[in-house]
Structure formats: structure tokens, C-alpha cells
A and B are shown apart, each in its own frame.
Chain A
Amino acid sequence: MIKTEQLTKRYQNHLAVADLCLDVRAGEIYGFLGPNGAGKTTTIHMLLGLIRPTSGRLLVFGEEIGPGDFAFKQQIGVVAEEPAESSQMSGWELVRFFARLYGVERPGPRMEELFHELDLWEVRHGLARDYSRGMRQKLSLIRALVHRPRLLILDEPVSGLDPHGIRQVRAIIDAYQQSGGTVFISSHILSEIEHSANRIGILHGGRLLVEDTMEGLRGRLARQQRLTIEVEQVTPALVERIASQPYVVQVQQEGRQLALVLISQEDVRARLSRVISDAGGLILKMQGEEMSLEEAFVTITSQDALALAGHTGAP
């Protein structure tokens, strides 16, 4: 459905996206995950032809997208990160305007269905620019779905929504996928997409660190664990010695306590005890705890991410 080959975008001295190789398959929900500034929105803008890639190839619906191509967007629905409406149109008129741009001749019944589903029916004649952020987000989703696209691109689709709105949007996305649609969701919050995404790609610093199924990703991330060690005296040499261990991703010191993030499939506590003893440290307490998927994702994208990419064998 979407395929990118060595897609790169460079802005003078800043590399926004580097050698990105994505493969979004038909009928799946693909979660495009990464912290703010990772290059997600830049990638989406390149997919839509809003900015031109510096290099690389981009294929949508199996056809290469070149400069000036725009007809392919008839089969795509897009929800922007910050929905902006500035015209004098009501919510209803705005969606009808876009429906006409997409070539929908009688959009009324579909619009009615979507406005009801997202609780905007009562306010449909209000000015779209006066809607709250959450309402504008829902309106963007209606606009994106009115022409029954084959591919739905969502950039942070639930930002600004209350919990009820989040549930409504998730239900619509799930129903859309079940009807055969393909969804490409970009988010910086794993929990937003972990329930619905079939596969996930994690982007960091413009590079794709991991691309895997949700189960595969859970397996990779589950190798991470948090360990809290209390020692009699913490010295810089001890911290340095611990941090130099290959299975230690992160060390944080707080008084006599050391909070470690480890990545290993084995139990490394005995090895770590020896390292501390060899460095002259005396362990008072050692406590391990499992990391949530969210915590593990944050660790991946904030600490030593590229090293982890090498470790996991990601492209």
C-alpha cells in the first residue's frame, strides 16, 4: 500500500528523515511511532507530495509517486496533527466541500452517518473555525472518511480528544480496517496505538529503528527490565563501571540508589553483583521490576537508540 525506499529529507544542515524503508501492507493498521521531532510528520508530508524528498523512492498503491502527481490522493483520507479551518464554512459545508473535491456526487447520507457516529450532528451548522480542538479533530476524521478512501493517514488522531472521543475514534478506525481499509497512524504515544496496530515502526532522529508486528515488538521490549540497587557508597568510578556493561542501557543515580535499565534475555543480577563488588561497592538492596511497554518505548527513543537498533537488527 505504501512503500518507501531509502527515503531521505535533508534541510540544509538538518537530516529530518534518513534512508527510510517502510512497508505498509494492504488491510493493516500500521503504527508509526516516534518522539516529537523524529520525522513522522515530514514523512507524511512526503507521502502526500507536500514536500519533495531529497532522495529515495516512494510508492503508493504500487505506483511510484513523482513530483506533480496528485490524483492518487483521491483514494487517501488524511487527518492532520493540528486541524486548521479558517473559512466561513460550517462543519457540514466544509465536509461537503471536501467531498466534492474528492468527486463524491451525493455525500449527504455518508456525512449524516459520520456526523452521528462522532456526535457532531447537533453542531453541524456551526462555524467549523469556532469548534473546540476536539470537535475539529473529529471533523477532520469525517472529512478524511467521507469519500471512503482505501488508505487512511492519521497524524496524532486522538490528540485533543476526551476519553469518550478517543473511544469513538478508535471504534471508527477499527470498523474502517474491518471493511478492508488500510490505516497508517502516526503517534508519539505508544498506548494510543498499541491496541489497534498490527505492525509498528519506531522512528527516531529520522531513522527507522524497529519495524515489527505488535507481538514481535512486545518480545523485543520485554527484554528490558528496571533494576534498583542500593549501595553503601556511590562513587563516580562505580557508576562508570556499571554503565560500561553491555547489557546496561541507562544508569540514574539518586543518593545511594542506582536506577538501572537493562536489556538482556538472561538474568544478569549475579553478574551485576560481581561488577559492583569488584568495584569496591557493597550492595544493601537490589530490586527488579518489569517495565511497561510505554516505558520501554520511551527508553528506546530517548537513550542509546541507535545502539539498540543495531542490537535488534533493525534496518
Chain B
Amino acid sequence: MYETKVYKIFFEQFVYMTQQAPPNSGGKVSRRDFLKLMAAAGTIMTFAPFVDWGKFLPNPAANVSERAKVQLPDGSQANVKTFQVNHSEAIIYPRSEEDETLNKESFRTWQFIRLPEELGGKKNDASAFRVYSMVCLHLWCLWKYWPEDGRKRGECPCHGSMYDPLTGMAFAGPASLQSPPSNVLPVLDLEVDNDGNIWIKPPNWSVNGNGIVGFGRFIT
């Protein structure tokens, strides 16, 4: 067979190369092999810069380096003093100022929730608030928070996945059956300034950080 011949040649070449250096040459590489090595190194060096060009593919728009306002649908910034307990709003993050189309994007919609009283929603600091990606981890419908008594949870209208507002973890429905990290919603970290205005801290889009929208997050 042709293949076995090829293997044989390769094997012999290998044996030849390993046994090549005569004992008195002190393990020197032959001139031809050295040339081949140089050519290979040159080729690698020539095409190495293009590896980084892979960054052309993902969209960098999601990377935000500064803190951003929590802007409510009416245009005002959310404030701990005015935002109701056990209430939620859909917010857009990151918000594009120049292109309104991008703000219609479900991947940029987040559910801004002030927790109910029993979960610590009365406190006037960041711990009373949660921001979760509205993209359901199952099949990417948009879920929302239901404040009614007996519900007080995030529910997806498509296949009935339910999310715990305290942690963002799915506890019922198909999303809860998915293995981690795909059972916990991505989250945004908040901070409150002296006036009570709420800001979103620059996120770290990774499963161990704020999570990946539509994929999930490891609970830390």
C-alpha cells in the first residue's frame, strides 16, 4: 500500500534524523535541517500577526470601560429614594446614543428589579437592586419579573422557565434543567452615589464574572 510506504519513509527519515548527529559533532544539527528550521520559523513569524486579527470577528460594542447610568424608560436615572420596592423596569445596556436601532436589541435589554421587602428591598443601597439579562437562558425569549403576591419571580412566556430574583438562578422549567453555567442569568453590578443615583459598573463579560448574555454565569 502507498500509505504504508509513506509511513515507512517518514519513519526512516525520523530514525535517520534522530541518529543523524555523529558522536563527535556534539549534537550539531545538519546544515540542511537548520535551513528547514529557519524557513519554518520565518513562515510562522510572517503569519503570526494575523492570529490577532481574529478580533475582527466579535463585536466590541458591548465592552464599556466607564460606569453608566441606569436609565429608566422615561429617560430619568434610577434613584434609590424614588424607585418603588418590589417593582421592575426594562432597561437598555449598553445604550447606543447614535443608533436607536441597536437599542431595540433583545441582547441589550435588562430587567432592573428592586427586590420585595422580604428579600431586603427596603434598604437604600445597591443590595436592594438587581439587574439581570432579560434573554431567557433556554431559547432566548424575553422573560420579565412578576411582582404579584405568590409569584415574585421572573417568568419566561415561551416555555415557562422561572428565575429567582435574589440570585438569578432558574428554579423551574427547561432553563433550570440546563447544566451550569446555563442555569443562572447574567447580572450587572451596581453602585449608588451620594445623591442616591444608581450606576452600572463596567462589566466583565465572562462566565466567572458578570456572565455571557444568552449563555449564563457561574454563581460565585
The answer on A and B forming one complex is no
Chain B residues packing against A (C-beta within 8 Å) = none
Chain A residues packing against B (C-beta within 8 Å) = none
